[in-house]
Amino acid sequence: MYDDTQALRPTAPPPDEAWHALAADAAIAALGTPAGGLAAAEAAHRLAQFGRNELPPPARRSALTRFLLQFHNLLIYVLIAAGVVTLALGHYTDSAVIFGVVIVNAIIGFVQEGKAERALEAVRAMLASRATVLRGGERREIAAAELVPGDLVLLASGDRVPADLRLIRTKNLRVDEAALTGESVPVEKGVEPVASDAVVGDRRSMAYSGTVVTYGQATGVVVATGTRTEIGRIGTLVAGVEEIATPLTRKLDQFARRITVFIVIGAALTFLFGYYVHDFPAIEIFLAVVGLAVSAIPEGLPAIVTITLAIGTTRMAQRNAIVRRLPAVETLGSVTVICTDKTGTLTKNEMTVVRALLPARALDVTGVGYAPEGGFANEGAAVDPAGADDLVEFARCALLCNDAALRHADGSWQLAGDPTEGALLALALKAGLDADAERTALPRIDEIPFESEHRFMATLHHDHTGHARVYLKGAPERVLELCATTADGAPLDRARWEVAIDEAARAGQRVLALASCAMPHGTTALAMDDIAPRFALLGLAGMIDPPRPEAIEAIAECQAAGIAVKMVTGDHGVTAAAIGAQLGLRHEAALEGREIERLDEAQLARRVTETDVIARASPEHKLRLVAALRSRGDIVAMTGDGVNDAPALKSADIGVAMGKKGTDAAKEAADLVLTDDNFASIDNAVREGRTIFDNIKKSLLFILPTNGGEAGVILLAVFLGLALPVTAAQILWINMVTTVTLAIALAFEPAEPGVMQRPPRPPAEPLITKLLLARVVYVSLLMVAVTFFVFEWEMARGSSLETARTAAVNMLVVGELVYLFNSRHFVAHSLAGDTLYGNPVAFWVSVGLIALQLAFTYAPPLQALFKTTPLDAAAWTLILGLGLAKFLAVEAEKAVLRRFGVQRL
């Protein structure tokens, strides 16, 4: 094909060279590779010229910088401000708690930083560490990092391809490209060039770095190394994708900015009004303003959000979902579109024979995957293999003309060999054949292995008495050429079988034909001349990578919840559409990679809404799909398990990787890892995500009115020129024992009824909706009214200022306590026993709060610290009565909302 004299030193190979479209000898000539491989000196020169075959380490921020950046958040600034205020007031314990929350948040963020760097490290780890090459006419094993363009690399079964290779010799070569292209079946490779515009999955003359040889041998010439390889380019794509904020963090940032401005302006106006209008002493009005700021700042909010997310993380881990980044827990609950890889996610990534077309009948085959569990049916009627000679002989061929092995280990059936042969072997076992007994009765004495040139495999067997038989399997059109009859002795009706083949292909099935023929007595060798048109066709095997049954149910549930599911795969359009139909997806107008390349961004954003099936998709296509969906305002989750999924996983609002069969690159780029590789777990994750967001919103619904009531009491006192009903120290006490503790109880709330029957929240919906704000204002006014009533009532009956303040503090606490049980449901009523006992945490936190408040009122140390006095029975009767009235007033507002059909705030 080429000679040693063509060892011309090349310039750097063009990065966009269509090596797959060049003839093998043209590629070798372009790279200046001699027949015996590069000389050592030439290899060293090229290593210096092209660089090592590895990805460069990314530039990283220092650990100190990463840690300090965790504090660069306006809500954290608000929390720090609260800590500074409490420190200035001498409340060191409270300050320690607040600053502790800040530090915990910073540590969590610090640990979760650097996903891009870790994703790149995982991609680099997929590169083969060693490679077998021809150099200077000798076979050598070298470090894969030392490969250079022009090196001749030798591949064998089980090898990981160490660089991008243009194949120049192949023998029965099949390569598993699932991690790169999503193709579920190992791809047959050859040396013939393909079209220059062929997508990666169709480049049969190439072997790409990071893929795995499953069968055969080959020699290839290196055409790209390091960042210029396909896998290296994906690593570059991962590095180039920016982190994005989750909906929750975006909304909390927006809320923090607004409330900060509101607090600062309100505090300033209050100080000016009190000082200039009522002539309050500066120090007195300053302390009042400090109390206002302390009461208004929701210092417990970051802690509550973190705790709520952490509780959700624990729940999700119990449901096979591991969270890598806390804010991402909520994101699944707000997604509007899930873009999911097919192979191993929606399907089992285990080829399965689903149809056996025999000469006299067609049988459906049940059971999924490699487990030999299932049976056969003809038009719905079960078929017993023991009495079905045609099926048994078909299964015997599938078993004996087969090099795969199945073994049961760790609770599952595992395949050693080719997935297609594994499917045929499982079929034979379902038919009741004993593999060892069959191989003993009919031992193999010769074979013709599968090669792309003849597209079949044939094995010769004898029965210990000299009778010999050949079993044959292969591409159906090739096997039909070799058959004269069918197994029942009838002449072969080729047109009928071709129709059956076309129907199976349209159903997304991969079809193999099986045949056999008797050989002369005593035959001991098998030659190509023996493979002549004299075989009897045993039947056709139609196989698919079957959908997971639970995935079908999960997709239906997601669709019922208003979430669009889009399958993005490297499979051909026909296969993808067929699988999509079985999954319940819109498959009629499947979108293919070449069409994506022709569409601009606006056209793609429109086109992607017309179908749920995207076929022949490359990493760039997946990135564009995510971008197109997000441009429409969708919140996008991307699931996957391959290297090809890593950039899109990272660019989506949330990335979900598969834990068992997922590559390290996918896991490192993802926010969530499913330990059972099951799309159905996403349904549970979505439910948990929605519950988490609801609980965070319930916490807001609780915190804001209680803080608003506290601030309102101070504001009203200042503007009316009255004595403060509560002091700044007492406000801190209330915040410490109620706002954080009671709100945390809401983090343990179970899911609202019908949580998966409502559509996703509109992505543009603010965190504080108009209805929620109305509730906040309404409850705040109720809190101010009852607190002032109690304070003025105590003052009117001649109590001391300390006693009146003690009563006001207890009124605020009781008002917040009863409002906790109002807040357990947004709109549904709370007049049921479940309200009290449905959340055990809320119940016991309430009991603890009552004990603390009694200590606040009656314990001498706390009386001295907070200047409180004991209350009499009349005061408690009024406080409890007003608390009940406030509870019923909120329930009345809920009833009005229900009457107008409001389901959530």
Active-site residue numbers? 341
Residue 457 tokens read as 């495999």
DSSP symbols for 38-90: B-HHHHHHHHHHH--SSPPPPP---HHHHHHHTT--HHHHHHHHHHHHHHHTT
| Angstrom distance (rounded) from CA 776 to CA 794 | 27
Instruction: State residue 363 phi and psi, 5-degree precision.
Output: -115, 135
Helix axes 549-560, 680-720, angle to 10 degrees: 30
> What's the distance, CA 72 to chain centroid?
28
| Angstrom distance (rounded) from CA 355 to CA 348 | 17
Torsion of CA 706, 707, 709, 713, to 10 degrees: 150
Residue 540 tokens read as 């056709």
Rg (CA), the chain: 36
Count of alpha carbons within 13 angstroms of residue 214, beta-carbon side: 22
| Angstrom distance (rounded) from CA 137 to CA 302 | 67
Q: Which residues contact 269 (CB under 8 A, 6 or more apart)?
A: none
294, 728 Cβ separation under 8 angstroms: yes
| Angstrom distance (rounded) from CA 129 to CA 149 | 17
535, 483 Cβ separation under 8 angstroms: yes
Q: Which residues contact 706 (CB under 8 A, 6 or more apart)?
A: 738, 739, 779, 783, 812, 815, 816, 819
| Angstrom distance (rounded) from CA 807 to CA 794 | 8
Q: Which residues contact 465 (CB under 8 A, 6 or more apart)?
A: none
Residue type, 627: A
Residue type, 616: R
